[in-house]
Structure 1
Amino acid sequence: MKRKRNKNIPGLAVRLVIVIMVVLVGIQLFQSREETTLGQEAAPSVQTPSDSYIDGFFTTPDGKPMEYTQTVRLASTGDIMTHGTQINGAYDRASGAYDFKPNFVHVKKYFESAHMPVANLETVTAGGTPQGYPVFNAPDAILDAVQYAGIRLLGTANNHSLDKGKSGLLRTLDQLKSRGLLSTGSFREPEQEITTMEENGVKVGFLAYTYGLNGLDGYLTDQERSYMINLIDEDKIRSDIQKAKEQGCDAVAVLIHWGNEYQQTPNAQQKDLAEKMLEWGVDVIFGSHPHVIQPSEMVEVDGAKKYVIYSQGNFLSNQRRETLPSIGVRNYTEDGVIVHVGLEKDPIRNSVVIRSVSYTPTWVHRYATDTGQQYEILPVREMLLREDTSASLRSRLEESYNNTKKNLTMYNGDLDG
């Protein structure tokens, strides 16, 4: 008997071939995705026509997009100074010791919640008799307080870096190191490795420079001046930025001491140098020295957003309306700001972008006790929201808040940090 021919066989064969091909492609995609998930560095094995294709291509088993970005939050603030009345107020006669920790009680949480908290240390800790302005020499206890506040890195390049000469500079570096605090801007030996912090797979290089040393350069030899304190020198800055990139930094932040004291707007030199540094590869610039807050701005360089704040004002000092009667902006010297910058890294695209910038305005509260003047740095917005804030204190806080708000450009939310 003649067997009937199954007319559906060719169709079944085609479908079988398609199924096999789908399975093979699926295995290949799974292997590629698995390698990328484990290594966080393997590139897709196929050419991706667009970013949206990447986002859709890598998914978790439940179909959700895989997260390939890594984030860190920088928190930076301005000048930490120790004038004579601050030193006296921090002295405990009963114990014979200094304690500056109460100055930071209300703001420490803002640094503790950051991955990379930094500030400018506008004094040395040279040992011996403590001194305030004009030759600063703080008790070592100021470093204990900074550590207590959660600050991890201090810029040490400023016009007071040589107030107690070479020995004062070196002792300050030793005291910082003994507490596990990082520093940048001044060095015992020529800097071979850029000072960095790395969290969540994001490595940030920190550089620091100062416009000058109050004419005290003579404390150092020509050779020592070439490496012990970073002065603003365009060739050196550009070289340091390149070195940071070569040493694997995903982003570069600069702490820079520049500008004119008590001026609320940046001068032409600040603007020009900021533009150059951003073009050379710096991502974030934190300015200090004017002792008042200067404006901030976001600058686009080759399609990438870069950020600069020209001055963060005073974080802790005795500069205020009661002590600077002849200065037209004396009220503004009481104001400071903690700047929060969120950086995000995408290891597939190998780039870091600024995702957020926000601010926590601060104000230095000085009040008298029977042991002397006491100081505390207050987060302005938080204190204004408290019901137990007195009317007189509220008035000063509101003034400070308005002063700060008009100088800063908002990028994400308002002055909440």
Structure 2
Amino acid sequence: MILLIGGILLLSSGFIGTESKSAHDNPLKADVDYTNHRTIDPVRLHSFFSVSSVTLAAVGDILIHDTVYQRAASGNGTYDFNPLFKQVKPYLDQADITIANQETMIGGTAIGLSSYPSFNSPFEIGDALKNAGVDVVSIANNHTLDRGEKAIFNAITYWEKIGMVYTGSYKSKEDQAVTRIVEKNNISLAFLSYTYGTNGIPVPAGKPYLVNLINPERIKRDIKDAEKKADAVVVSLHFGNEYQRLPSAEQKQLVKEVADAGADVILGHHPHVLQPFEWLERSNGERTFVAYSLGNFLSGQHADYKDIGGILQLHVEKSSVGGEKVVTVKNPSFISTYVDQNFVVHPIESSGNTGLYKEINAHMNQWIPELTFNTK
């Protein structure tokens, strides 16, 4: 950094011009000629040195059990999930880009709603996520194929209708080939998504685009391709063991491979409970931020930490010096949340349960002491 600043100062002197040595030797001299002094051209300086930043927020599983959609029923076959997100909307909405793991397909009521073990959810959950500030949904998970191709096509059609970026499941080979990129504040983020499997339901022959399965070599190729198109790459991985509060050896091994391939952020889902965050140093010396599991954000599950999730927020910064781009992920923060008996999502900090609040915070920052917690 010192060498970098020094280089900027040296180059800046070319913009500023020079003064006679005697002016520095005798600063009190009255007849110094400053007519050659020039200020830095801000346009030229910005083209040489610039910094942009974007805030990325991420939440865990949106797992719509029948108890949840029954709570959201508003009559005449319609549903309103907005009240369930009202308490956390300000925190989702304040980020520049927010991603959620939409674990259940929103195939709509026309094909019949359903719950565990074969989910199908109302379209209106998509509307509520959009209204709450979500910009991207990851839809590659073990329930993607629960209700077949019809549910997937219905869901994708609706995501497109409301302008929601989706990743991990696609309507065609051509759709799958399009890297999902969101740009804000002059920074572009690519979003990739993969799942360990589909609960034993085979992917229809000749239609691998219906769901991205975890294949390390495929993921590495996709990351390399995404790096050419975007400033940073965010990879969602549906993996791990359900209800385990620490990552498995298999999770850690896959994360290492994905990080070394160039992922800047890795977001984990599937365990339905929170697992700690970690910085992972890549083989090239750069760092990847890893969330092994963001837990359940909204679901019908209760007790044993299954009704606890949270909102992760990161700052992605891009600096450009003389055309050389450097992207840095920094300042991780976390707002822990819980789902009450009416399926409303709240920040734990506002619940008055100080013991739980401290316990969850200690669990999440055990590998990242600098992690901050603040709803203010």
- What band does the TM-score fall into relative to the shorter chain? 0.7 to 0.9
Instruction: Output the CA distance in 1 between the equivalents of 2:170 and 2:35.
Output: 60
Q: Residue 364 of structure 1 aligns with which residue? A: 339
Query: 1:245–1:364: structure 2 CA closer, same or farther, 3 Å change rule?
Result: same
* 1:347-402 CA-partner distances (Å, limit 9, x unpaired): 22411112210000000011xxxxxxx31000111333xxxxxxxxxxxx445424
Q: How big is each residue's C-alpha offset from its partner over 1:163-184, in whole Å with a ceiling of 9 and x where there is no partner?
A: 1101111111111110111110
Q: Is the 8 A contact 2:296 2:306 kept in 1?
A: yes
Q: How far does residue 265 in structure 1 lie from its aligned partner after superposition?
A: 1.1
SS in 2 for 1:415: coil
Pair 1:336-2:336 in alignment: no
The aligned amino acid for 1:186 is: S
Quick check: 1:111–1:150 contact (8 Å CA) kept in 2?
yes
Which residue identity is paired with 1:76?
Answer: A
Q: 2:55 aligns with which of 73, 81, 98?
A: 73
Decide whether the 8 Å contact of 1:197 with 1:203 is kept in 2: yes
Query: Partner residue of 1:300?
Result: 281
Q: Is the 8 A contact 1:332 1:400 kept in 2?
A: no
Q: Which of 154, 158, 177 matches 1:192?
A: 177
Contact 1:335/1:400 (8 A) holds in 2: no
Aligned partner of residue 265 in structure 1, secondary structure: coil
Worse-matched range after superposition: 302-311 or 208-217? 302-311
Q: Partner residue of 1:215?
A: 200
Q: Aligned to 1:401, which of 357, 360, 366?
A: 357
Larger Rg: 1
Distance 1:300 1:355 in 2: 14
TM-aligned CA distance change 1:148 to 1:346, over 3 Å: same
Q: Which amino acid aligns with 2:119?
A: F
- 1:131 — aligned with what? 114
Larger deviation: 168-177 or 297-306? 297-306
What does residue range 4-403 of structure 1 map to in structure 2 within 5 Å? 30=40, 34-37=43-46, 40=47, 42=48, 68-93=50-75, 95-127=76-108, 128=110, 129-190=112-173, 191-218=176-203, 220-221=204-205, 223-225=206-208, 227-247=209-229, 249-301=230-282, 302-321=284-303, 331-348=304-321, 349-366=324-341, 374-384=342-352, 397-398=353-354, 400-403=356-359
**Secondary structure of 1:212's partner?**
coil
Determine if contact 1:79/1:314 at 8 Å carries over to the other structure.
Answer: yes
Distance 1:164 1:383 in 2: 37
Query: What secondary structure does 1:381 align onto?
Result: helix
Q: TM-score, normalized by length of structure 2?
A: 0.85
State the number of aligned residues: 340
- In structure 1, stretches of 5+ residues that fail to align are 1-12, 44-67, 322-330, 367-373, 385-396
Q: CA deviation at 1:229?
A: 1.1
Secondary structure at the counterpart of residue 130 of structure 1: coil
Letter of the 1:295 counterpart: P
AA aligned opposite 2:131: Y
Give the aligned CA root-mean-square deviation in angstroms. 2.3
The one-character-per-residue Cα deviations of 1:246-288 (angstroms, maximum 9, x if unpaired) are: 22x1111111100000111111111011111111110111101
Residue 98 of structure 1: how far off its partner (Å) = 1.1
Aligned-pair identity (%)? 33
Q: How many angstroms apart in 2 are the aligned matches of 1:255 and 1:151?
A: 15
Is the CA contact (8 Å cut-off) linking 2:107 and 2:120 kept in structure 1?
yes
**Equivalent position SS for 1:275:** helix
AA partner of residue 350 (structure 2) = E
Code of the aligned partner of 2:118 = V
TM-score (norm: length of structure 1): 0.77
Q: Please say if residues 334 and 371 of structure 2, whose CA atoms lie closer than 8 Å, have aligned partners that are also in contact.
A: no
- Alpha carbons of structure 1 residues 30 and 23: separation in structure 2 relative to 1, 3 Å: farther
Structure 1 residue 194: deviation in Å? 1.0
In structure 1, C-alpha distance between the alignment counterparts of 2:137 and 2:240, rounded to whole Å: 19
Instruction: Give secondary structure in 1 for the equivalent of 2:290.
Output: strand
